[in-house]
Amino acid sequence: MLKRALLSLAATTALVASATSAHGQDEEKDGLRRPERLTVGVADQFLGQLAPDKKTLYFSSNRNTTNEIYSQNVDDGRAHLLFDEGAEVTWPRVSPDGKSILYVSYSDRATGQLCVRDLPSGKGRRCLEDGSAALLAEWIDAKRIVLVARTSIDGDLRVHEVNAGSRLSTRPILDRNISSPAVSPDGKWLVYVPVERSSDRVGPAFAAHAAQRLEAVRLDRPGTPLAIPIDVPGLTGQPAFSKDGRYLYFVQFFSDSNRDGVVDGSDHGVLFRVPLSFGQDGQGAPVVGAANQLTDESWNCQYPAPAADRLVTTCSRGRNLDLYSLPLDGEVPSDWTTQHLADEIELASKHSKLQLLYYERLARSTTPSSKRFVKVRLVRTHLALEEFGAAEFYAKHIAAAGDPDSLGLSQPLLVLVDHRKALRQRERGRIVENFDERARARMASLEVKPGDTSAAAALTRVVRSEIADTIGDKARARAELEAAPIAGKTPRAVLEAYYEQADALYRELDDREALVTACRQLALHPQLAEEDRLRYARAAVRAMVRGLPYADAEARLERERATAPADSELAFALSLGRALLTIRDARPGKAAKAVLVEMYQKETRIDRRRAIMLDAVQRATQYGADPIIEGLAEHYVDSVDAAAQERRRAERLYTQVIVGRAFRRRAAQKYDEARADFEAVAKRTGSLEAVVGAIDLRLRAGESTAAIRAEYDARRQSGEVKLANFVTAYLLSCDLRKLEGDEHGNAVSQAIAALKASWSELKKQCMAQSLYGALQHAEYLRTRDLALAEKAGTHYLVALELVGTNQRYKAMVLGQLGLLHTEVGNYRIALAYLQDRDRLPYAENSEGFAVRLAKARCHLHVGHEKDAADEADEALAMTESAQRLAQYRILALDRAALYNLSANRFERALALYDEELKRLESDASPMAARNRFVARLARAAAALGAEQPNRALADLDAVDRGLSDPGLSANLGWPHATNEQVVRSYRLITSGLRARTLQKIGQLDGAARSLETRRALLEAELAATGREEFVRLLALLEAQRADIAIERRDEKTAAAALKKALEHADNLHDLSKGAVDRDQLDVLWLAAQSNVLSHTPVSSDLPNRLGKAGKLVSTPATPVNRSYARMFEIYETLTGPLVKGDSHDAPASPPPAGERDSAAAR
């Protein structure tokens, strides 16, 4: 109960705070939709298909090594094996009516066989028996299937139509090498990826399920394939129709992301969709609309499977594949206005997000000029992502427009792509012959012609400057850049390229004035919008003051301000720069804050207010001036309209800053101020982290959960239903540590019901997923139902993906995962999570304490006994320094003593058990007697190890009296064991300890009697269970009997015991199917040693045994094996056939590593 209460407390506390960092952020809010994770686990889950009921997900998984097909309830999150084929299966496809599933089976044919089963049962298996090798298949309708197969390994592919009745029958419809078949919902059209043969002798290679184009043919009358003109760079693959047939989804591969030298289906995929029709009557050539990018490159999504209301896809965010869902229109909502899209582009900072938004903007562009300059931005974005093929695609597209303006931009862009590609190859260590000469040739190919537009001329000069800069010709690079005509009607996209090159070149040359001049020109450029001029004006000010002493910086800004045009962006930026210089340390004073706040309040333009915030926060962060950041963050969030895109950034900054301050105040025990901060954030932003922080402080202050719940329930009337449901669940979780039995189960059920009531809104928030997992985790601790542990792990893993950049959230979820896997017994997995958690700071001692104990337990079970003891000692020390943990000191003492005992630190363990028993003596709880009994038994082992055998005997006497007491022995329960089995197991332990103790003090007769008692118990256990471990224990027991008999000079008993020990070792060898371990070798060593030193007759084949064993342990040549081999070689020479006996086989495999312990001692 104490341990469960601790883990429950740690899980709940982790929801409150897991790090002291003031820079942990709330969930990432970048305005885009995030793919929602559907599956979790350490294996791959892929090829997902959502059934027509919208609730059941079918997919392939290799969680049991081979690929199998699973079904999963989307709401429940638990996966079940749909059927056991007894072999590899793949490519599941659900029929349109949801009553059947097709797949490719390798059970009867290694080449693949098309099979169909009934849904949802997974029964009714029927397979195609035509002898062809099935590769891929897709449903035409509920009764027909299109199958891609081949008749031989050297043959071409053939497309068949399969009748999926009670028996499968087939007819060929098309001879063509294809991959990834997709059938239109009306069953008329087949869209596919054409596959080229890669060898004359071997069938078509399917390593690359992507091509330059897609093709379509009519299924009812296949003819000449029709190309589908998709205007997107890279290779295309995995087409899939939307359920209404209006869209075609597919995967695009932009670049060689896995660095294998080719772009193919093994690279990172990006999902797209295009409107697709086949003429007005559905009979003509395919007509394709503008392509919309649905996911950004960072998700690496493939295998799109559109359902009626969502898109299911396979994505890889780390090492594993998992299934995700998205709205059908992807990450960018299709109902965004053009202005909304433009605002999101301004706010985006990652190239992958910008790429996604630019593709959406390109799809909406209607004029040639707007398309042209979006493509220029796409070229630069693809270059930043090192997607050179895609960049070249759009550079050529600009030229394809045919007008002079486009031609003038295309050529320098193509040269830039070629140059960047060569430069990247050189940086990766590839030999690029004559790099400098080729670079100069590229420069020479770019000429500024008299008729070029200012945009073309400027871009040409910029590209020439970059090339010259790369080869070290700085003078040429400067000359080219300064010759760029940027004063005229130069588009914004070209000016952005000009600024990037100027910033890179002049900072490398350490030419402050040149950079200031370039930025000043852009800041005063009449063709740029105000917000663009402001961006360059701020850059100019940064260049002016960078590296200058404060006095010189102030003087420079004062001079510049006197000459800057009034009310210009440059004048504003100079005023802002002067205000920022007042922040010079962590305590800039009220005047500095007042200047910035006044400046912020005077401005009405959003972009200027944003500039004040960004620059002030950056400056204050540099000096640790938290009061400045906090004050501005409050003004920022209060001044931005709730419906504006800017509100998202304001809320993120405000939450990050004020929640960080709240945690600092909480750590300083300023609870009222911390609570006020949490409540302010919760009110303004709805942050669940802030809500939990405020509630926790109220509970700490003595408020009841019922009173807080009533307050939030009253807020339901004002529309805060989601918040009220979350708070209800959280408060119920806080009460769990006080509950037992059915009350605990009912509370968990009520909490989960509250979350489910608003789950559609809560499921994308890390805090809600963590709470859901914590509730099921707590119920698992009570019931030990592994299904609950699996559900808890699912929610924790989803929460881990939602943490974003919030280090507090990351710490919380890692800790919960570690504790869960520790309890389940996945110790190595748990240890990995706990070690990751330990790299982050702690704000709550209770969580740190639970993590320490969990790490100690994991270390013990993976064989790191010393590490286990160290961790447990640290946990014990925490109970002395934290008042809140004092109630757990007995638990910490018990764990620290046990782990020190396991690490052979006997004196330390003995001292810890002494303290534990002293505390337990005053315990009057129902389990107190049982706890004292267990502690005394462990203390006896510690005393024996610490060379205090008399103390060990005293404790063993007390333990034996307890075993004879029916009242006490009835309370010695273990899971899944009867009381008789438990008592017998304890007697096994005590008899073994007593034998060792009596032998140590020279009472050999008593030790021999104890071993006789232990032998009888072991033989009874072996007869009852037949388990291998009891054979091992009997072998070691007989070795100990022989050792005692030799010491007693009882040669007959020693010989009989050694003979029995060898017989048990042989039996153990047979039971383990020829495996050999150290126990078997130690028994052999003891037999040889006794024969040589004590002349104890053992077995006539002892030399033969030693010879065979010596050969076995000669490899691998580890220090331990060398020790065995050396001693066996010596004893083989010295032993002789003193008595006749039956021959036995020697052990048959090398022992594990480790220092030798004598079998007698063990």
Give the whole-angstrom CA distance, residue 112 versus residue 148: 11
Q: What is the pLDDT of residue 1105?
A: 81
Q: Is 283 left (phi over 0), alpha (psi -120 to 50) or beta?
A: alpha
Q: What's the CA gap between 588 and 577, in Å, rounded?
A: 15
Q: Say what the pTM is.
A: 0.82
CA distances from 104 to 84, 101, 110, 148, 1000 (A): 14, 10, 11, 11, 67
Cβ atoms of 795 and 789 within 8 Å: the answer is: no
- From the number of C-beta atoms within 10 Å of its C-beta (0-12, 13-18, 19+), residue 423 rates as middle
Alpha-carbon distance of 989 to 979, in angstroms, equals 16
Cα(532)–Cα(523) distance, integer angstroms: 8
Between CA 989 and CA 996, with CA 992 as vertex, the angle to 5 degrees is: 140
* H-helix segments, 841-905: 845-861, 865-881, 889-902
Token pair of 885 as six digits: 């943990």
Q: Is 65 left (phi over 0), alpha (psi -120 to 50) or beta?
A: left
- Spatial distance between the Cα atoms of 148 and 133, rounded to a whole number of angstroms: 9
Q: How far is Cα 450 from Cα 788, in angstroms, rounded to an integer?
A: 75
Distances (CA, A) of 160 to 133, 176, 193: 12, 11, 16
Q: What are phi and psi of 728, to 5 degrees?
A: -55, -50
Quote the tokens at residue 427.
């940086």
Indicate which CATH number applies to the domain containing 863: 1.25.40.10
Which helix (H) or strand (E) segment is 702 a member of?
none
Dist CA 524 CA 667 (whole Å):
49
Of 668, 573, 588, the residue nearest 631 (C-alpha): 588
Tally the residues of the chain. Answer: 1162
Q: How far apart are CA 648 and CA 347, in angstroms?
A: 10
Assigned domain for 792 exists = yes
DSSP per-residue codes, 971-1013: T---TT--HHHHHHHHHHHHHHHHHHHHHHTT-HHHHHHHHHH
Q: CA-based angle 26:31:32, to the nearest 5?
A: 110
240 forms bridges with which residues in the sheet? 249
pLDDT at 197: 65
Q: How far apart are CA 838 and CA 848, in angstroms?
A: 8
Ramachandran sector of residue 1046 (left: φ over 0; alpha: ψ -120 to 50; beta: rest): alpha
Please report where in the chains the tokens 């404060």 appear, as a residue.
550
Tokens representing 792 are 């808890």
Using an 8 Å Cβ cutoff, are 903 and 869 in contact? Answer: yes
State residue 248's pLDDT score.
98
* Residue entry with tokens 């970048």: 30
The total number of structural domains in the chain stands at 1
In this structure, the number of other CB atoms found within 10 A of the CB of residue 696 comes to 23
790 domain-assigned: yes
Measured CA distances, 197 to 208, 215, 226, 239, 857 (Å)? 11, 17, 20, 20, 56
Considering the domain boundaries, does residue 537 fall inside one?
A: no
Residue 797 lies in a domain: yes
pLDDT at position 1136: 53
Alpha-carbon distance of 667 to 661, in angstroms, equals 10
Domain containing 752 equals: 1-31+694-903
Question: What is the SS3 assignment for 250?
Answer: strand
Per-residue confidence (pLDDT) for residue 425, from 0 to 100: 86
Residue 1009 lies in a domain: no
Q: Which of 684, 581, 659, 956 is nearest to 25 (CA)?
A: 659
Give the contacts of 278 (CB within 8 A, at least 6 positions apart). 184, 188, 189, 216, 284, 285, 286, 287
* Joined tokens for residue 1048: 């007693």
Do the beta carbons of residue 821 and residue 42 sit within 8 Å?
Answer: no
Domain assignment present for 836: yes
Largest CA distance in the chain: 114
DSSP structural state of residue 446: -
Q: Report whether 697 contacts 663 (CB < 8 A).
A: no
**Minimal CA–CA distance to 421: which of 394, 391, 388?**
388
Q: Where are the alpha helices (DSSP H) in 365-453?
A: 368-384, 388-400, 404-427, 435-445
End-to-end CA distance of the chain: 34
Does residue 1069 contact residue 1108 with C-beta atoms inside 8 Å? no
Cα angle 267-271-275, degrees, rounded to a multiple of 5: 140
Alpha helices by DSSP H, listed for 220-317, are none
DSSP H or E run through 237? strand 235-241
Question: Cβ(104)–Cβ(149) under 8 Å?
Answer: no
Closest CA to 385 of 208, 295, 256, 262: 256
pLDDT of residue 30: 62
CB neighbours of residue 620 within 10 Å: 25
Residue 580 falls within a domain, yes or no? no
Give the pLDDT score at 639: 87
**What residues in the chain have per-residue pLDDT under 50?**
1-13, 16-28, 199-208, 1137-1162
Tokens 């959406």 found at: 360
Is residue 724 included in any domain, yes or no?
yes
Q: How many CB atoms lie within 10 A of CB 672?
A: 10
Question: What whole-number distance in Å separates Cα of residue 382 and Cα of residue 405?
Answer: 22
Q: What are the helix (H) ranges across 223-348? A: 338-347
What does the H/E/C string look like for 158-174? Answer: EEEEEEECCCEEEEEEE
